[in-house]
Chain A
Amino acid sequence: MSPDEPGEVRGGDEILLAFARALRAGGIAVTQDRAHGFLASAAELGADDPVAVRIAGRATLCASPDDLARFDQVFEAFFNARDGLPRTRPAAPTEPRFTDFPEEDASGEGEPTDEMVRAAASATELLRQRDVASLTPAEKRRLDGMFATLRPRAPMRRTARHQRWHRGQVDASRTLRSSLRRLGEPSVIEWRRRGTRPRRIVLLVDVSGSMSSYADALLRLAHRLTQALGQAAGPVETFTIGTRVTHISRALRIRDPERALVAAGETVPDWSGGTRLGETLRFFLDRWGQRGMARGAVVVVFSDGWERGDTALLGEQMARLRRIAHRVVWVNPHRGKDGYEAVQQGVVAALPHLHDFVAGHSLATYAELVEVLADA
């Protein structure tokens, strides 16, 4: 560790704390207690040994492989910058690449009359049916608010555990326990049934170029599902796919939709890139799906099926997905339009492995999708 310039002597802890601040700027969630743990473990190993500091930091401040990579970057930049202390702000978070936000436009609204309410009501219904890609910014903004009208219900699965119920099977242990209270005299028979729990839903949202006009609406849908079906670490997990796979569930757990979408936008590095569905799907399955994320889950793929890569690979991976997942739903924004035929090679390859193939271009179709999910 370098800074021994005259007049700028700092205690070891201050340097470490400055480093922790640099990490925070670099995108790692360094909380007070974590920083404390870092200081304690660095002290334990010897704070003057860079290797020890690095190990202590990785163990106490990081919480995922992504964090580890960021940590190493910041560590390099921080301790190899010889010009004193932390002027370097490494790995600044990238600019939000979200371009699809509705622009601010001033729309003065006066007192609503009955007429206006009726007109608004039918306009709302129309808007529900409109293709989200064809909306003006003002219409889009109104539609954004309408996502809150979706009422998702979670698909349920049965659990191994039983619950108390007023009929069903005899609950022997509870019956015993209650008779125990009467010194072994027989008492009321208790009943039980298998419990239920929400089944996990995994959303894979294609954010490649050909889907860019739908990406915003689809992420709003994902946000709505995430919010409605469970808050912290709930049963909805969302990934974006394009040229790579990005896990954005954490961003979507932010309650406010606008802030959540900005956070998601900052996370995703490959907006409007190409599509290599087969490869990204394989990556998803290797990294997450097979280990349990998709196992027994309802998996929803949002994509138009424009595959630039190998469609045989896509078919293979869809077959794999189907074997792991409880139900595979493909949502295609073009499905509901007049004259649509499933001719894109990607769709053709995936079709035999799907449970449901549904439309997804308007709020009305999203409402239908919500029903499909609830019954899955």
Chain B
Amino acid sequence: MEPSSMPGSAREVSALLGRTGYLCDDELATVTYLMLAMQRPLLLEGEPGTGKTALAEALAESLELPLVRLQCYEGIDSTQALYDWDFPRQILHLRALEAGGGADPEEAEKSLYDERFLLARPVLAALQQSPALLLVDEVDRADDEFEAFLLEVLSTWQVSIPELGTVRAATPPLVVLTSNRTRELHDALKRRCLYHWIEHPGLDRELQIVRSRAPEVSEALAGQVVRVVQQLRDRDLQKPPGVAETIDWARALHHLGTAELDLETASATLGALVKYREDADRVRHALDQLLRT
């Protein structure tokens, strides 16, 4: 990243993100600024649907960096995160060498472990492309061996490939990790990172977000939708709607040509907002009340 393109203050970060449609509060803007200024990874936790992944995407877009995404899952290991060799192409290459007439075995082997047969997985790709933004999504889903591996990469910014040597990032990539807290992350990993807990946005901010993400929705409808969603979050639902669901719902209502929220269209479109049958029943019940007030 060019030093000139680096935002110089939290306010600049906020403005930069705002231009991509990501509206964040002051604390998040400040933490993001710190992450850029101090080159520390940022660990985001919070309820699903509060915009953890979206922040990484918006940041990459606004800083014009390639976004490299590593989705974690149970059982992920370093070959899926780092690199693998492209065996079929290596075999083909070998056959081609043979057809071309007796290659020197040593030379042949050397040519097999060439960079063109290397399949760079996200972490290596991020180091190679750096400056880049590496998004390690849902790191709590990976096992702790993987966390240890990640920790190593995050502290050295290099990866060694036995056949090729060490790949080191010229500039360390920016790193955003997200976690849904299904398990406590290791302290050592947390210590390397800046930490931020994202809350659901307040009424005004959510309204702004809906307006900027779904500009086609009328202001009146957006206002109604956001007010309903904000109240629903206080009711007890198995999965309170996130911002993404709010936007989906507003869009769904808009597609149906709704100008004003009424019980009938609201219940017909509930599928965009809540994802459990029990919740749908509760919301339908509450809507009746909410819309009357």
Contacts and interface: CB of A to CB of B under 8 A. Distances in A.
B182 A183 contact: no
Contacts of A56: 30, 34
B184 A292 contact: no
A320 B278 CA distance: 11
A292 B140 contact: yes
Nearest to A287: B181
B31 interface: yes
B181 A41 contact: no
Nearest to A195: B75
Interface in A233-271: 233, 237, 247, 249-250
B141 interface: yes
Nearest to B35: A59
B75 A161 contact: yes
Interface in B63-88: 74-75, 77, 85, 87-88
B34 A184 contact: no
A249 B112 contact: no
Contact of A29 (B105, B141, B187): B187
A64 B46 CA distance: 10
B144 A180 contact: no
Given A58-B195, A176-B87, A290 B239 contact: yes
Contacts of B187: 29, 63
Interface in A15-68: 29, 31, 33-34, 37, 40-41, 44-45, 52, 55-56, 58-60, 62-65, 68
A291 B182 contact: yes
Given A31-B191, A184-B94, A233 B34 contact: no
Contacts of A59: 30-31, 34, 194-196
Nearest to A54: B27
Contacts of A285: 238
Nearest to B143: A197
Given A184-B95, A292-B182, A233 B87 contact: no
A59 B196 CA distance: 6
Given A59-B196, A64-B184, A232 B144 contact: yes
B93 to A, nearest CB: 10
B34 A62 contact: no
Of the four ranges (under 10, 10 to 19, 20 to 34, 35 or more), the interface on chain B belongs to 35 or more
Name the residue among B30, B48, B194, B238 with the largest chain A CB count within 10 angstroms: B30
A183 B108 contact: yes
Contacts of B196: 58-59
A159 B142 CA distance: 13
A143 B37 CA distance: 56
A288 interface: yes
A13 to B, nearest CB: 17
A41 B105 contact: no
A55 B31 contact: yes
A182 B105 CA distance: 9
Contact of A33 (B185, B191, B238, B278): B191
* Listed residue (A59, A60, A288) with the most chain B CB atoms within 10 angstroms of its CB: A59
A154 to B, nearest CB: 14
A113 interface: no
A288 B181 CA distance: 7
A44 B37 contact: yes
A316 B10 CA distance: 46
A286 interface: yes
B220 interface: no
Contacts of B190: 63
A173 interface: yes
A258 to B, nearest CB: 23
A250 B87 contact: no
B75 A233 contact: no
Interface in B115-137: none
A183 B98 contact: yes
A173 B180 contact: no
Contacts of A197: 75, 143
Interface in B176-215: 180-187, 190-191, 194-197
Given A55-B27, A292-B140, A173 B34 contact: no
Nearest first, the 4 A-B pairs at minimum CB distance are A292-B182, A59-B194, A63-B190, A233-B144
18 contacts: A29-B187, A31-B191, A33-B191, A37-B38, A40-B38, A44-B38, A55-B26, A62-B195, A64-B181, A65-B45, A68-B197, A176-B90, A180-B112, A247-B184, A249-B184, A290-B238, A291-B180, A295-B182
